[in-house]
Amino acid sequence: MIQKQRQISWVNTLFLTISPLLGIVGTAFYVYFNGVTRWELIPFVVLCGFTGLSITGGYHRYFAHRSYKPNRIVELFYLIFGACAVQNSALHWASDHRSHHRYTDTERDPYNAKEGFFHSHMGWIFYRDPSERSYDNVRDLQADPLVMWQQRYYVPIAIVVGGLVPLLLGAVAGHPLGGFLWGGALRITLVHHSTFLINSWAHIFGTQPYATTDSSRDCWWLAFLTNGEGYHNFHHKFQADYRNGARWFQWDPTKWLILGLSSLGLARRLHRVPQEVIIKARIDAAMAQAESRLGPLSWEARTAMQEKLAIHRSRLAEIMTSWAHARARYVELRISAHKGSEEKLTHYKALLRKHRADLRKATSEWTETLRAHNRQWGYQTT
């Protein structure tokens, strides 16, 4: 439904207006007159971590995308502390987010970035849900009794655990107001707006190294504010992957949390997109961006550059196909582990090393070709 036809939700509007005032201005005044104690900071830091990771690891990567399967204790943790983030129930949040991915940049996208920064950041929450609201896209979650328990008791959980608990922790230390402001209002504000930035900033500013078919962007510094969610272009291209920061050096605490849970036997079925598929996506995106910049060239220069790019792309595709085949055979042999397979394993291991070396060389040549083209025409390589 188009935004202009919707009614204002005064509950949401007042909460999103008052909570930052309490959280930022209220906490600033409190600190000015009372200072800060560790009994206010510790609950603040712990609850920021618990609620933030419950949104990224729970609401987002598990409930919305099913990119892995945690055990029931971890799921209950996500539901309790996800409610404390005050971003609605897991059922409602996941439904909105699945609609966002299905209808990105259209009127059916709940936080459509085409309607402006403020709308995608938080303006969309100021409106009531359409009267014909349906949860048809989260039927799998409706079958989960824990999700439906949280759906029924979302508000009491948010009030008790997200508001009263920090107040009581502060009271034990003799600072009830400080506990509430730090662990409640300020923490909610920070977690809110770090999440909101993914819907707004990461659809307007940044790079598109994996796909150019929608407005999603990668923004490395946002990853530090959002437990790894800043690699949003990767996520839109490979939304079922439990990682957002797929490269080893990319900051993604949520990915490390999920890996840690898996190593402890608390999570399974971690979905991971094959490396060759990721590399192909980067090549396709770079090719599309390079071709879009060939317009000012003469026909002869444009044709020559297209042929050069096509040669490198073909070479990369050939190597990746060989690499994927060798890796699949290597994994198959390791699983079977039948007698006499040691020699074949050694052979395929050596073959994999060769293909990796060839791939590094071909990727380097491809990148240098793009950089030369971009330097000539004043663009930056993503």
Q: If the chain, 382 residues long, is cut into consecutive pieces of 10 residues, what is the mean pLDDT of each piece?
A: 69 96 96 92 94 98 98 98 97 97 96 96 92 88 98 97 94 93 97 97 96 96 97 97 95 98 97 88 81 66 71 76 74 65 75 78 74 59 46
- Is 293 part of any domain? yes
Residues 104 and 64 in one domain: yes
d(C-alpha 135, C-alpha 307), whole Å? 49
- Is 382 part of any domain? no
The torsion angles phi and psi of 259, rounded to 5 degrees, stand at: -60, -40
CA 275 to chain centre: 18
Residues 303 and 261 in one domain: no
Residue 49 pLDDT: 97
Residues 103 and 249 in one domain: yes
Residues 6+ apart with CB under 8 A from 293: 373, 374, 377, 379
- Is 280 part of any domain? yes
Residues in the chain: 382
Nearest CA to 42 among 212, 142, 182, 197? 182
Of 252, 268, 284, which marks where a domain is finished?
268
Residues 360 and 340 in one domain: yes
Residue 119 pLDDT: 96
- Is 149 part of any domain? yes
User: What is the extent of the structural domain holding 109?
Assistant: 3-268
Residue 381 pLDDT: 45
d(C-alpha 17, C-alpha 261), whole Å? 37
d(C-alpha 229, C-alpha 64), whole Å? 14
- Owner of token pair 């196909």: 321
- Is 146 part of any domain? yes
In DSSP terms, 69 is beta-bridged to: 268
Residues 6+ apart with CB under 8 A from 279: 316, 320, 359, 363
Which amino acid, residue 339? Answer: K
What would the two tokens of residue 314 be? 């073909």
Residues 186 and 283 in one domain: no
Residues 214 and 306 in one domain: no
Q: Would you say 238 and 210 are in contact if contact means Cβ atoms under 8 Å apart?
A: yes
Of 238, 268, 298, which marks where a domain is finished?
268
CA 302 to chain centre: 37
Q: Would you say 282 and 210 are in contact if contact means Cβ atoms under 8 Å apart?
A: yes
Residue 3 pLDDT: 45
Residues 301 and 255 in one domain: no
Give, in order, the Cα–Cα distances in Å from 5 to each of 11, 238, 240.
18, 33, 33
- Is 124 part of any domain? yes
- Is 185 part of any domain? yes
The torsion angles phi and psi of 267, rounded to 5 degrees, stand at: -150, 150
Residues 314 and 245 in one domain: no
Element (H, E) at 70: strand 69-70
d(C-alpha 130, C-alpha 249), whole Å? 42
DSSP 8-state class, residue 129: P
Nearest CA to 52 among 251, 229, 264, 248? 229
Q: Would you say 244 and 252 are in contact if contact means Cβ atoms under 8 Å apart?
A: yes
Of 210, 238, 268, which marks where a domain is finished?
268
Residues 155 and 256 in one domain: yes
* Residue 207: Cβ-neighbour burial (10 angstroms; 0-12, 13-18, 19+): middle
Residues 106 and 10 in one domain: yes
Q: How many CB atoms lie within 10 A of CB 283?
A: 20
- Is 125 part of any domain? yes
Residue 163 pLDDT: 94
Residues 262 and 305 in one domain: no
Residues 289 and 146 in one domain: no
Number of domains making up the chain: 2
Residue 316's SS3 state is: helix
